[in-house]
Amino acid sequence: MARDNAPHERQQKQLARKLGRRSSYDRILIVSEGSETEPNYFKEIRTTYRLDTANIEVRPSELGTAPIQVVEYAKELFEYGNRHKNIQARAFEQVYAVFDRDEHDSYFDALRLVENLDGKLRNDAKQPTLFKAIASVPSFELWLLLHFEDIQAPLHRDEAERRLRRYVPGYVKGMKGVFAITRGRLAEATRRATLLSGRFTAETEPEPYTAVGDLVKLLTSLRG
């Protein structure tokens, strides 16, 4: 059985904040639609690249999985923090809301809300906070599939998962170790995602698009 590292992470974070210590790079809050798939992936990056848990906070939305709820929870967590999770109010320079197009009715409303929030909220240092959407069309699995295939045409989320299982046998949402499995093809996935973003945007659905690579690039380069 996999070891639960949450208590250890909380202890590290509490100690770092008690001592007033954090790393020199920006404090980043990542809030995701999924309760396991995306958090597991980004936490694995945090561990692999030895990023400070006091700087990189990864949380699933607790208001619901609709895109607008993901954005609203990210805003709420930024503005008010959560003492039970040892998250201080306004303690971030960057906030990212990670959600899928899927068939969500609130998808475009969520994109608009993120645009309105970007640079409008101020953190504990009175600085404008970057607030960005990390959207995928149709789903997060497109990003994973781009590690193995060059996708140019629209596809359904179920098709993306089915094709992904060709390369990651037994893949299911919430699966752990996905970053380790795909890491060797990260450069190729980034190249393919960049090409897609040159043709499409988060708003040109059903065309394939994902901004996950942008967040991955940021996280993997924080320590230089």
- In total, the chain counts a number of residues equal to 224
Q: Which residue has the tokens 């109010």?
A: 89
Pick 5 or 128 by higher pLDDT. Answer: 128
Q: Report the relative pairing of strands 28-32 and 94-100 from DSSP bridges.
A: parallel
Residue 12, pLDDT score: 55
Kindly tell me if the per-residue pLDDT of 130 is higher than 70.
yes
Which has more pLDDT, 68 or 10? 68
The predicted pLDDT at position 18 comes to: 42
In this prediction, residue 6 carries a pLDDT of 56
* Structural element, H or E, at residue 14: helix 6-18
Res. 19 pLDDT band, cuts 50 70 90: very low
Digit-coded pLDDT (tens) for 70-87? 999 999 999 999 999 999
Which H or E run includes 74? Answer: helix 67-80
Judged by average pLDDT, the poorest of 5-14, 92-101, 167-176, 184-193 is 5-14
| Residue 183: exposure state from Cβ atoms within 10 A (0-12, 13-18, ≥19) | middle
Question: Residue 90: which pLDDT band, with cuts at 50, 70 and 90?
Answer: very high
Sign of CA dihedral 136, 138, 140, 143: negative
> What was the pLDDT predicted at 135?
98
User: pTM value?
Assistant: 0.90
What pLDDT is recorded for position 22?
A: 60
Tell which wins on pLDDT, 13 or 204: 204
